Amino acid sequence: MKRNVKTLTTLVAGMMIGASTLTMFSFKGLDDKATVKERVVVKKVYMEDQNHGQLQYKWNAPDMPQNLTFAGEKVPLERTDVKEQLDRELMYNYYNQTSTAFVLKMANRWFPIIEPILAANGVPDDFKYLCVAESALKNQTSPVGAVGFWQIMPRTAPEYGLEVRAEVDERYNVAKSTEAAAKYLKQAYQRFNSWTAAAASYNMGQGGLNGKSKAQLTKDYYSLQLSDETMRYVHRILAFKLLIGNPEQYGFRIEEHDVYEPLKTRIVAVTSSIPSLASFAKKMGTSYKKLKELNPWLREERLTVKAGKSYQIQLPMS
C-alpha cells in the first residue's frame, strides 16, 4: 500500500512539473495578474488524460479575422476559397513558432530601414510583409538564384539599379534592394491598377500574371486560377500581416529586451580600389568578419572601384 501511494505521489508530482514546465515554456511571464484570455489560452495548450495519467497536447486553430485589407484593398473573406486559403497559411505560420518568433525579433532591426523606403516610393506599408514572406528577413539564396531579403533574380537586378558582379552583389544590400523592390511594385501597380495583383506579380512575374489575366478575362487576383505557389503567396503575406501586426493576439509575447536592436553604424565613402578588405577593416579599427557582416554585398576579399564610381561601406559606430 505504501509503495502504491509513493508511486501515485511520484506520478502526480511528475505531471504537475510537466504541466508547469509546458506553461512556462509556452507563455513567459504569466503571473497572478494574467488576463482571463491568457489563462484560457494556457488552459487550451495542455490537458491531463485522466484515464492514463499522461500529459496530452491540444492543438487549436488560430482565430480568423472578420475583416481584412491588404494595401487598402479589401480581402474577400466572405468567399469560402479565400477564407480557407488564408486559414491554411495562418495556421502553418502560427504553428511554425520558432520562425515567426525570430521574424518578430528581427523586424525591430529591419523594418525601420524598409518602411521609410517603401513610403518614399509610394508603396503601401503592407509590402514589408511581402519581404517577410520572401526571406523571413534574412539574406537567403534560393535554389534558382534569387538573393537577399527581397529574393531578386540576377537578370532582374540591373533593370532596377542593382549592381551584380563577382565582387559586388547589391541584392544583399537591404536598403538598395528595398529600393529596387519598391520600383518594381510601383511599376506593377501602374500596370494592373491593383496592389494585390502587384504582390502576385512579384511571385510569378508581370508577364506571367498579365497572360493569365487575359486568358481568364479578369484582373482580380482572387478570381484567377494560378499555380499553387502563387495562389498561396498573397495569403502567406496576409498571414504574416496578422501574426506580426498583432503578435500578442496570437500568443507571441516578445518583450522589449528580447528584440534585436538596429545596427549602429557609420558610413565611409570609398572611391578607390581596396586590394585587401581585411587590411582595410584593420585600418578602420574593426575586423574582416564584422566588415562582411555589415556589408554582405561585398562578395570577395577585395573591392575594385572603377573611375568615377563610389561605394558606401558601413562600419561599426564605435
Bridge partners, 47 (sequence order): 56
Answer whether residue 291 shows pLDDT above 90: yes
Confidence of residue 4 (pLDDT cuts 50, 70, 90): very low
Domain ranges of the chain: 2-57, 69-258, 265-316
What does the pLDDT average to over 201-210?
97
Instruction: Give mean pLDDT, residues 8-36.
Output: 43
Does the structure show a pLDDT above 90 at 5?
no
- Per-residue confidence band for 112, with pLDDT thresholds at 50, 70 and 90: very high
Q: pLDDT band for position 57 (50/70/90)? A: low
Average pLDDT over the chain, rounded to an integer: 87
Residue entry with cell 501515485: 8
Q: Could you report the per-residue pLDDT of 141-161, keeping only the tens digit for each? A: 999 999 999 999 999 999 999
pTM for the predicted model, two decimal places: 0.82
pLDDT given for residue 131 in this prediction = 98
Supply the pLDDT for residue 22. 40
pLDDT at 46: 46
Task: Tell whether the model's pLDDT for residue 127 goes beyond 50.
Answer: yes
Would you tell me which CATH number, out of the four given (1.10.20.10, 3.40.50.300, 1.10.530.10, 3.40.50.2300), belongs to the domain 69-258? 1.10.530.10
pLDDT of residue 29: 42
Residue-level pLDDT at 53: 54
Where is pLDDT greater, at 16 or 243? 243
**pLDDT-derived band of residue 59, with 50, 70 and 90 as boundaries?**
confident
Residue 60: which pLDDT band, with cuts at 50, 70 and 90? confident
Q: Judge whether residue 38 has pLDDT over 80.
A: no
pLDDT at 44: 46
Is the per-residue pLDDT at 96 higher than 80? yes
Average pLDDT over residues 1-5: 43
Model pLDDT, residue 19: 43
Residues ≥6 apart with Cβ < 8 Å to 68: 74, 75, 77, 86, 238, 241, 242
% the chain with pLDDT above 90? 80
Query: Residue 41: pLDDT above 80?
Result: no
Q: What is the pLDDT of residue 244?
A: 97
If pLDDT is split at 50, 70 and 90, which confidence band does 318 have?
confident
Q: Which of 6-20, 183-197, 239-253, 285-299 has the least mean pLDDT?
A: 6-20
Look at residue 21 and tell me whether its pLDDT is greater than 70: no
